[in-house]
Amino acid sequence: MTKRKTEPLLLVNKLSVADAQHLHRLEGGFLSSWQILYQLVAIVVVHALVARAIYLAQATIWHLLLPIVAEYYAYLVAVPVCQAWARHGELAKISQQCLRVLAVQGFVLVAAGIAWPLWTDKEMVATWSWGFEAGWNWVVGTQMHWPILLAGIYSAINVKQNVDKLVVYGPPFAGPGIGCAMRAVVAFFALVLVPAVAMFIGPLLLHFFPGLKSSLGFGAMVWLAWLVFVTADLGRLYLRWDIQRRLLRIGKLPESGQRSSRN
């Protein structure tokens, strides 16, 4: 007599309870009301500062990626720093990977900085000075330094909180997780699909509403891309809260009552 295969318990749609519990752990575990409020305020403030940069300094679509880049590098730096005091075995490999990525990218940056002046027969110090000044003006001149700074601090605080949970409750360590994958998809949508769709929808709107000619343009695409990023960040937070709420309601929220040992 063959054993009947048991169907996995579903939480919502086709998401099983086991998969939801796994996602919940990877995203950092339980969120208190204060943590949800903190993340909500951080998202709103960062995107409000980006909107300020768009409105006051005509920041472009490419500028919208800078807070995400800041979060990425803050993560790469914060993990090894936290490992220096946590000394946790689970974090050791991740810390080495972060240092390796920083070393490779730093090497590529320095190599490019040396090779470019040699290729163009220009003075190296003058080329580096010009590059730094151009980058500084591109960021600070568009008022993007404030959202970059806050996004980096927000990412570093998240890493510190996740390391504390790792030390107290044990593995797994909550890295970028599903939020990183979602942001990659959103970035592709905002930078590629939004301009492509606007090229087709814009003329159609102008055909039926000629008065919109002064409103439609590159600035409108930037605002649309900004709205996509805001919606994605808020949706990511809502998704995490909703999974936690549903697991808690059926009594399947992962509980970690035992403190882990530092390996």
Q: Return the domain boundaries, the chain.
A: 14-249
The string of DSSP letters for 31-68 reads: --HHHHHHHHHHHHHHHHHHHHHHHHH---TGGGGHHH
- Residue-wise pLDDT for 172-210, tens only, equals 676 665 555 566 666 666 666 666 665 666 565 555 555
H helix and E strand count, the chain? 9, 2
Overall average pLDDT of the 210-217 stretch: 49
CA distance linking residue 86 with residue 163, whole number of Å: 8
* 124-181 tens-digit pLDDT: 777 788 888 888 899 998 899 999 999 999 989 988 888 888 877 777 676 665 555 5
221 CA to centre of own chain: 21
The pLDDT-based confidence of 261 (bands split at 50, 70, 90) is very low
**pLDDT tens figures, 12-57:** 666 777 777 777 777 777 788 888 899 899 999 999 999 999 988 8
Are the C-beta atoms of 64 and 50 separated by less than 8 Å?
yes
pTM listed for this prediction: 0.76
Assign 120 to helix, strand or coil: helix
Query: 259 pLDDT exceeds 90?
Result: no
The terminus-to-terminus CA distance of the chain in angstroms comes to 47
Query: Tokens 């990877």 identify what position?
Result: 26
The SS3 assignment for 19 reads helix
Q: Are 124 and 114 in contact (CB under 8 A)?
A: yes
Mean pLDDT (whole number) for 53-76:
89
